[in-house]
Amino acid sequence: MNTTEKTRESVLTAMFAAIICLLAFVPYLGYIPLGVMNATTIHIPVIIGAMFLGPKRGAVLGGMFGLTSLLNNTFKPSATSFVFSPFLSAGLEGNAFVSALSSLIVCFVPRILIGVVSYYVFLLFFRLMKNRKTIAYIAGGLAGSLTNTILVMGGIYLLFGESYAAAKGISFNALYGVIMGIIGANGVPEAIVACLITAAVCPILRRIKPLYAERNTN
């Protein structure tokens, strides 16, 4: 990769990072309140960024998503913000270090994996259907969005089950049903929106920059 291409990729990475920050910190853009939980659109620039910049930079953008989530939940906390903020979860009963580490896992790992999973799922369909890139865009968007929803909610259930249930005012036995309901009510619409926006934006962006897979695979 020559200097000009590296500069272009750095600029594009900064652009996607700026979009993530804009969505995260401008009310009702990145986090849309739905009562039970906030629906998000912040994973979408991570997904698109991964397709054009590759899995490493996609992971970096996912980490940026995680950082904005940590900041939002720390400085504008709700009853369940402790699952995303080590500063809040450290005050829970039990080992403060374990609780803080669990928050970091829930906050960052699923978001980092958005960029990795969406890229490789996109790459798989890109290779299988060379003349049908729209299907590859949709597959990557779907995989990235569901990675975020399933891993975040799964992490909450496994690492903060009892505390999260208590914050919601429900029994732990009822939590699994609530988690599945959130995945269905929030995760499915988020995935549909991610697929539609990814399929609409990627062909336009591809006119000015080739996909990462086009530059790095045969």
pLDDT-derived band at 34, boundaries 50, 70, 90: low
- Which is higher by pLDDT, 178 or 28? 178
pLDDT (0 to 100) of residue 217 = 59
Among 61-70, 81-90, 205-214, which stretch is predicted with the lowest mean pLDDT?
A: 205-214
User: CA 129, CA 135: separation in Å to the nearest integer?
Assistant: 8
Flag whether pLDDT at 199 surpasses 70: yes
pLDDT (0 to 100) of residue 164 = 96
User: What average pLDDT does the structure give for the chain?
Assistant: 92
pLDDT-derived band at 36, boundaries 50, 70, 90: low
Token readout for 136 is 């590859």
Token readout for 87 is 């500063």
What does the angle CA 140 – CA 142 – CA 148 come to, to the nearest 5 degrees?
Answer: 100
Mean pLDDT of 48-63: 97
Q: Whose structure tokens read 């991964």? A: 50
User: CA 128, CA 101: separation in Å to the nearest integer?
Assistant: 39
Helix, coil or strand: residue 91: coil
pLDDT (0 to 100) of residue 3 = 79
For each of the domains in the chain, give its residue range(s) and CATH number, in order of start: 3-216 (1.10.1760.20)
Token readout for 81 is 């913000």
Indicate the pTM of the whole model.
0.94
Flag whether pLDDT at 218 surpasses 60: no
Flag whether pLDDT at 39 surpasses 80: no
pLDDT (0 to 100) of residue 37 = 62
List the beta bridge partners of residue 32: 39
Q: pLDDT (tens digit, 9 = 90+) per residue, 109-150?
A: 999 999 999 999 999 999 998 778 999 999 999 999 999 999
CA 139 to chain centre: 15
Q: Which residues contact 203 (CB under 8 A, 6 or more apart)?
A: 133, 134, 137
Mean pLDDT of 22-48: 84
CB 124 within 8 A of CB 95: no
Q: For residue 44, with 0-12 CB atoms within 10 Å meaning exposed, 13-18 middle and 19 or more buried, which class applies?
A: buried
User: CA 78, CA 83: separation in Å to the nearest integer?
Assistant: 10
pLDDT (0 to 100) of residue 206 = 93
Q: pLDDT (tens digit, 9 = 90+) per residue, 150-191?
A: 999 999 999 999 999 999 999 999 999 999 999 998 899 999
User: CA 80, CA 68: separation in Å to the nearest integer?
Assistant: 16
